[in-house]
Amino acid sequence: MAEDEPLAPGEELRPPAGHAPEELQQAMQAGATWPWSICPVPDDLRLSVVVPVYNEMQTVEEIIRRIRAVAVPTEIIVVDDGSTDGTGELLDAMAGGKDLRVFRHERNRGKGAALRTAFAQATGQIVIIQDADLEYNPREYCRLIQPIIEGVADVVYG
Ligand SMILES: Nc1nc2c(ncn2[C@@H]2O[C@H](COP(=O)(O)OP(=O)(O)O)[C@@H](O)[C@H]2O)c(=O)[nH]1
Ligand SMILES: [Mg+2]
């Protein structure tokens, strides 16, 4: 599947059918992403995914859908930083689910300020900064957080 092709709901949960572990190893070395089902994470792991958003009308719904497709309990904290393109109205329509909270700056204060607003709300053991423009793929979270889970890093840049 192409990296930016939309995922079917639940797709992250399925290991590739008919693949032996050695083939998975080779796929991983070639850059494939582990499915969550064989990604070792603690049972009580909770991710906080913070999403700074400024005028991302075209992509914000899709990035939230992709974050929700990651099969680990995740809280999504979106900060709309005074968008003027209709992003705010779109987010209002999506908010309300237990997993998604939207905060708003009435005027644009920059990405750093949006992140500080979001960090103050995060309750997970690991916080991921997810840009809203589809440049980074939530399917990479498993690999991204492994060094933290293994205790060899406090922060991972990817
Ligand atoms: N909150 C907030 N987010 C911003 C601002 N500018 C950009 N962003 C968001 O930050 C993320 C990265 O922005 P982008 O323009 O893709 O930066 P680049 O990938 O570093 O070129 C996206 O989710 C943007 O919506 C801003 O002024 N405020
Ligand atoms: Mg970008």
- Domain hosting residue 129, numbered range: 44-149
List the chain pLDDT tens, one digit each, 158 residues: 455 566 555 554 444 455 456 665 666 566 555 555 457 788 889 999 999 999 999 999 999 999 998 867 889 999 999 999 999 999 999 887 789 999 999 999 999 999 999 999 999 999 999 999 999 999 888 889 989 998 999 999 97
Q: How far is the CA of 24 from the centre of ligand 1 (A)?
A: 34
Q: What is d(CA 16, CA 13) in angstroms, rounded to the nearest whole number?
A: 10
Q: What is the largest CA-CA distance in the chain?
A: 53
**Does a structural domain hold residue 109?**
yes
| Ligand 1 proximity of 131 Cβ (cutoff 6 Å) | yes
| Ligand 1 proximity of 49 Cβ (cutoff 6 Å) | no
**Does a structural domain hold residue 52?**
yes
**Does a structural domain hold residue 110?**
yes
**What pLDDT score does 13 carry?**
43
**Does a structural domain hold residue 6?**
no
**Does a structural domain hold residue 3?**
no
Q: Which CATH number belongs to the domain containing residue 130 in this structure?
A: 3.90.550.10
Domains in the chain, number: 1
pTM of the model: 0.79
Burial of 56 (C-beta count, 10 Å sphere; 0-12/13-18/19+) = buried
**Does a structural domain hold residue 104?**
yes
**What pLDDT score does 7 carry?**
57
**Does a structural domain hold residue 5?**
no
| Ligand 1 proximity of 111 Cβ (cutoff 6 Å) | yes
Q: Mention every residue, 6+ apart, whose C-beta is less than 8 A from residue 89.
A: none
Q: Which amino acid is at 23?
A: E
